[in-house]
Amino acid sequence: MIKVNNVSKKYTLKNREIFALNDTSLSIEDSKLAVIHGKSGSGKTTLLNIMAGLLPPSNGSISLDGVDPYLLGDKELSLFRNKNIGYIPQGTSGVSSLTVLENVMLPANIYGVNDIKEKAVSLLKDLGLENLMDSYPAELSGGELRRVSIARAIINSPKMIFADEPTNDLDKENTEFVLKLLKEKSREGMSVVIVSHDEAAMKYADDVIRMGSIQ
Ligand SMILES: Nc1ncnc2c1ncn2[C@@H]1O[C@H](COP(=O)(O)OP(=O)(O)O)[C@@H](O)[C@H]1O
Ligand SMILES: [Mg+2]
Protein backbone atom coordinates (compact mmCIF):
# COMPACT_ATOMS: atom_id res chain seq x y z
CA MET A 1 0.00 0.00 0.00
CA ILE A 2 1.28 3.43 -0.98
CA LYS A 3 0.10 6.34 1.12
CA VAL A 4 0.71 10.04 0.58
CA ASN A 5 -0.30 12.22 3.51
CA ASN A 6 -0.67 15.99 3.04
CA VAL A 7 2.49 16.24 1.00
CA SER A 8 3.82 19.53 -0.34
CA LYS A 9 6.99 20.37 -2.20
CA LYS A 10 8.15 23.93 -2.10
CA TYR A 11 11.02 25.52 -3.96
CA THR A 12 12.38 28.96 -3.20
CA LEU A 13 13.68 30.74 -6.26
CA LYS A 14 15.20 34.13 -5.51
CA ASN A 15 12.47 35.61 -3.29
CA ARG A 16 9.66 33.63 -4.80
CA GLU A 17 8.14 30.46 -3.37
CA ILE A 18 6.93 27.86 -5.83
CA PHE A 19 4.73 24.98 -4.79
CA ALA A 20 5.45 22.11 -7.16
CA LEU A 21 2.96 20.12 -5.10
CA ASN A 22 0.50 21.48 -2.55
CA ASP A 23 -1.05 19.47 0.31
CA THR A 24 -1.70 16.29 -1.66
CA SER A 25 -3.07 13.09 -0.15
CA LEU A 26 -3.87 9.78 -1.79
CA SER A 27 -3.50 6.05 -1.39
CA ILE A 28 -2.87 3.24 -3.86
CA GLU A 29 -3.61 -0.34 -2.96
CA ASP A 30 -1.41 -3.33 -3.80
CA SER A 31 -1.82 -4.99 -7.19
CA LYS A 32 -3.30 -1.84 -8.69
CA LEU A 33 -2.21 0.17 -11.67
CA ALA A 34 -2.67 3.88 -10.97
CA VAL A 35 -2.31 6.55 -13.63
CA ILE A 36 -1.39 10.10 -12.63
CA HIS A 37 -2.94 12.43 -15.14
CA GLY A 38 -2.80 16.19 -15.47
CA LYS A 39 -1.44 19.04 -17.51
CA SER A 40 2.21 19.90 -17.81
CA GLY A 41 3.54 21.61 -14.70
CA SER A 42 0.81 20.22 -12.43
CA GLY A 43 3.32 18.36 -10.25
CA LYS A 44 3.12 14.82 -11.66
CA THR A 45 6.86 14.14 -11.77
CA THR A 46 7.32 15.76 -8.36
CA LEU A 47 4.65 13.49 -6.84
CA LEU A 48 6.06 10.39 -8.54
CA ASN A 49 9.61 11.13 -7.38
CA ILE A 50 8.43 11.74 -3.82
CA MET A 51 6.58 8.40 -3.84
CA ALA A 52 9.63 6.64 -5.29
CA GLY A 53 11.86 7.78 -2.43
CA LEU A 54 13.87 10.07 -4.68
CA LEU A 55 12.72 13.49 -3.49
CA PRO A 56 11.99 14.39 0.14
CA PRO A 57 8.79 16.40 0.58
CA SER A 58 8.89 19.83 2.25
CA ASN A 59 5.83 18.91 4.32
CA GLY A 60 3.77 15.79 4.96
CA SER A 61 4.83 12.18 4.82
CA ILE A 62 4.56 9.06 2.73
CA SER A 63 4.32 5.41 3.61
CA LEU A 64 5.38 2.52 1.39
CA ASP A 65 4.06 -0.70 2.90
CA GLY A 66 4.28 1.00 6.29
CA VAL A 67 7.76 2.46 5.81
CA ASP A 68 8.45 6.19 5.49
CA PRO A 69 11.58 6.09 3.31
CA TYR A 70 12.58 9.59 4.35
CA LEU A 71 13.04 8.45 7.94
CA LEU A 72 15.71 5.97 6.81
CA GLY A 73 19.41 6.77 6.70
CA ASP A 74 21.13 7.11 3.30
CA LYS A 75 22.41 3.56 3.17
CA GLU A 76 19.13 2.05 4.42
CA LEU A 77 17.22 4.13 1.89
CA SER A 78 19.41 2.90 -1.01
CA LEU A 79 18.89 -0.69 0.09
CA PHE A 80 15.16 -0.18 0.57
CA ARG A 81 14.80 1.38 -2.87
CA ASN A 82 16.95 -1.25 -4.54
CA LYS A 83 14.86 -4.05 -3.08
CA ASN A 84 11.35 -2.59 -3.19
CA ILE A 85 11.18 0.08 -5.86
CA GLY A 86 11.48 -0.12 -9.62
CA TYR A 87 11.83 3.28 -11.29
CA ILE A 88 11.38 3.91 -15.00
CA PRO A 89 12.64 7.44 -15.66
CA GLN A 90 11.25 9.80 -18.26
CA GLY A 91 13.00 9.65 -21.62
CA THR A 92 15.55 7.12 -22.67
CA SER A 93 18.34 6.05 -20.43
CA GLY A 94 20.90 3.36 -19.95
CA VAL A 95 24.58 3.26 -19.10
CA SER A 96 26.14 3.78 -22.52
CA SER A 97 29.31 1.77 -21.85
CA LEU A 98 27.38 -1.34 -20.77
CA THR A 99 25.56 -3.81 -23.00
CA VAL A 100 21.80 -4.26 -22.77
CA LEU A 101 22.25 -7.40 -20.67
CA GLU A 102 24.75 -5.67 -18.35
CA ASN A 103 22.38 -2.70 -17.96
CA VAL A 104 19.55 -5.00 -16.93
CA MET A 105 21.73 -6.88 -14.43
CA LEU A 106 23.12 -3.69 -12.87
CA PRO A 107 20.56 -3.18 -10.05
CA ALA A 108 21.07 -6.78 -8.93
CA ASN A 109 24.86 -6.67 -9.21
CA ILE A 110 25.13 -3.49 -7.15
CA TYR A 111 24.21 -5.36 -3.99
CA GLY A 112 26.18 -8.46 -4.76
CA VAL A 113 23.50 -10.64 -6.33
CA ASN A 114 25.53 -12.44 -8.95
CA ASP A 115 23.34 -15.34 -10.06
CA ILE A 116 21.00 -13.03 -11.91
CA LYS A 117 22.06 -13.65 -15.50
CA GLU A 118 19.50 -16.36 -16.18
CA LYS A 119 16.70 -14.17 -14.88
CA ALA A 120 17.91 -11.17 -16.91
CA VAL A 121 18.11 -13.25 -20.09
CA SER A 122 14.62 -14.63 -19.54
CA LEU A 123 13.25 -11.13 -18.87
CA LEU A 124 14.87 -9.84 -22.06
CA LYS A 125 13.33 -12.73 -24.00
CA ASP A 126 9.88 -11.88 -22.59
CA LEU A 127 10.40 -8.33 -23.77
CA GLY A 128 11.46 -9.39 -27.26
CA LEU A 129 15.00 -8.15 -26.78
CA GLU A 130 16.91 -11.43 -26.92
CA ASN A 131 18.70 -10.49 -30.13
CA LEU A 132 19.88 -7.20 -28.65
CA MET A 133 21.38 -8.48 -25.39
CA ASP A 134 24.94 -7.75 -26.49
CA SER A 135 24.12 -4.43 -28.15
CA TYR A 136 24.79 -1.04 -26.59
CA PRO A 137 22.06 1.51 -25.73
CA ALA A 138 23.11 3.82 -28.59
CA GLU A 139 22.27 1.06 -31.07
CA LEU A 140 18.65 0.71 -29.91
CA SER A 141 15.40 2.42 -30.90
CA GLY A 142 13.31 4.45 -28.42
CA GLY A 143 10.85 1.60 -27.93
CA GLU A 144 13.62 -0.93 -27.37
CA LEU A 145 15.37 1.37 -24.87
CA ARG A 146 12.14 1.84 -22.94
CA ARG A 147 11.79 -1.93 -22.71
CA VAL A 148 15.37 -2.15 -21.38
CA SER A 149 14.44 0.46 -18.72
CA ILE A 150 11.47 -1.69 -17.74
CA ALA A 151 13.58 -4.86 -17.55
CA ARG A 152 16.07 -3.02 -15.32
CA ALA A 153 13.26 -1.68 -13.13
CA ILE A 154 11.79 -5.13 -12.49
CA ILE A 155 14.91 -7.32 -12.30
CA ASN A 156 14.85 -7.27 -8.47
CA SER A 157 11.10 -8.10 -8.41
CA PRO A 158 10.21 -4.86 -6.60
CA LYS A 159 6.91 -4.42 -4.78
CA MET A 160 6.30 -1.10 -6.49
CA ILE A 161 7.02 0.31 -9.94
CA PHE A 162 7.02 4.02 -10.71
CA ALA A 163 7.14 5.15 -14.33
CA ASP A 164 7.30 8.72 -15.65
CA GLU A 165 5.62 9.00 -19.07
CA PRO A 166 6.68 5.47 -20.06
CA THR A 167 4.84 5.58 -23.39
CA ASN A 168 5.89 9.07 -24.42
CA ASP A 169 7.43 9.02 -27.91
CA LEU A 170 6.40 5.40 -28.50
CA ASP A 171 4.34 4.21 -31.45
CA LYS A 172 0.97 2.55 -30.90
CA GLU A 173 2.33 -0.98 -30.92
CA ASN A 174 5.09 -0.28 -28.38
CA THR A 175 2.68 1.76 -26.25
CA GLU A 176 0.27 -1.17 -25.95
CA PHE A 177 3.16 -3.57 -25.31
CA VAL A 178 4.54 -1.46 -22.45
CA LEU A 179 1.12 -0.84 -20.88
CA LYS A 180 0.12 -4.50 -21.12
CA LEU A 181 3.39 -5.52 -19.50
CA LEU A 182 2.96 -3.06 -16.61
CA LYS A 183 -0.63 -4.24 -16.16
CA GLU A 184 0.61 -7.82 -16.01
CA LYS A 185 3.10 -6.84 -13.30
CA SER A 186 0.32 -5.26 -11.24
CA ARG A 187 -1.73 -8.44 -11.59
CA GLU A 188 1.29 -10.38 -10.30
CA GLY A 189 1.10 -8.26 -7.14
CA MET A 190 3.22 -5.17 -7.79
CA SER A 191 1.78 -1.71 -7.29
CA VAL A 192 2.33 0.25 -10.49
CA VAL A 193 2.15 4.03 -10.70
CA ILE A 194 2.38 5.64 -14.12
CA VAL A 195 2.52 9.32 -15.00
CA SER A 196 0.86 9.65 -18.37
CA HIS A 197 -1.26 11.95 -20.46
CA ASP A 198 -1.66 9.19 -23.00
CA GLU A 199 -5.33 8.23 -23.37
CA ALA A 200 -4.17 4.68 -24.11
CA ALA A 201 -3.04 4.37 -20.49
CA MET A 202 -6.53 5.10 -19.15
CA LYS A 203 -8.02 1.80 -20.20
CA TYR A 204 -5.40 -0.05 -18.16
CA ALA A 205 -5.91 2.09 -15.06
CA ASP A 206 -7.52 0.76 -11.89
CA ASP A 207 -7.19 4.25 -10.40
CA VAL A 208 -6.83 7.62 -12.09
CA ILE A 209 -5.25 10.39 -10.04
CA ARG A 210 -6.06 13.76 -11.56
CA MET A 211 -3.56 16.44 -10.65
CA GLY A 212 -5.04 19.85 -10.13
CA SER A 213 -8.36 18.47 -8.91
CA ILE A 214 -6.86 16.84 -5.81
CA GLN A 215 -4.90 19.88 -4.65
N1 LIG B 1 13.72 21.69 -8.94
C2 LIG B 1 12.75 22.58 -9.14
N3 LIG B 1 12.95 23.89 -8.86
C4 LIG B 1 11.97 24.80 -9.06
N5 LIG B 1 10.74 24.52 -9.56
C6 LIG B 1 10.50 23.24 -9.87
C7 LIG B 1 11.47 22.21 -9.67
N8 LIG B 1 10.91 21.02 -10.06
C9 LIG B 1 9.66 21.32 -10.48
N10 LIG B 1 9.42 22.64 -10.36
C11 LIG B 1 8.15 23.32 -10.73
O12 LIG B 1 7.07 22.65 -10.12
C13 LIG B 1 5.98 22.49 -11.01
C14 LIG B 1 5.63 21.03 -11.19
O15 LIG B 1 6.69 20.36 -11.89
P16 LIG B 1 6.61 18.84 -12.35
O17 LIG B 1 6.37 18.00 -11.16
O18 LIG B 1 7.81 18.55 -13.15
O19 LIG B 1 5.30 18.85 -13.26
P20 LIG B 1 4.78 17.83 -14.38
O21 LIG B 1 5.58 16.58 -14.29
O22 LIG B 1 3.33 17.65 -14.08
O23 LIG B 1 4.97 18.53 -15.69
C24 LIG B 1 6.38 23.19 -12.30
O25 LIG B 1 5.86 24.49 -12.29
C26 LIG B 1 7.89 23.20 -12.21
O27 LIG B 1 8.43 24.27 -12.91
MG1 LIG C 1 6.80 15.53 -15.66
Q: How confident is the model over 97-124, as pLDDT tens digits?
A: 999 999 999 988 877 666 789 999 999 9
Residues 6+ apart with CB under 8 A from 185: 154, 161, 192
Spell out the domain ranges in the chain. Answer: 31-38+72-210
14, 18, 164: residue to mutate for ligand 1 pocket, most atoms within 8 A of CB: 18
Convert the pLDDT of each residue in 161-183 to its tens digit. 999 999 988 888 889 988 999 99
Q: Which of 45, 55, 197 to mutate to test the pocket of ligand 1 (most atoms within 8 A of CB)?
A: 45
Q: pTM value?
A: 0.92
Percent of the chain's residues with pLDDT above 70 = 97
The enclosing H or E element of 199 equals: helix 199-202
Element (H, E) at 18: strand 16-28
C-alpha distances out from residue 59 to 5, 108, 114, Å: 9, 33, 39
**pLDDT band at 136; cut points 50, 70, 90:** very high
φ, ψ of residue 157 to 5 degrees: the values are 45, 60
The reply to whether CATH 3.40.50.300 applies to domain 31-38+72-210 is yes
Do residues 174 and 143 touch, judged by C-beta distance below 8 A? yes
What amino acid is encoded at 138 in this protein? A
Q: Are strands 2-13 and 33-37 parallel, antiparallel or unpaired?
A: unpaired
Q: Supply the DSSP symbol for 67.
A: B
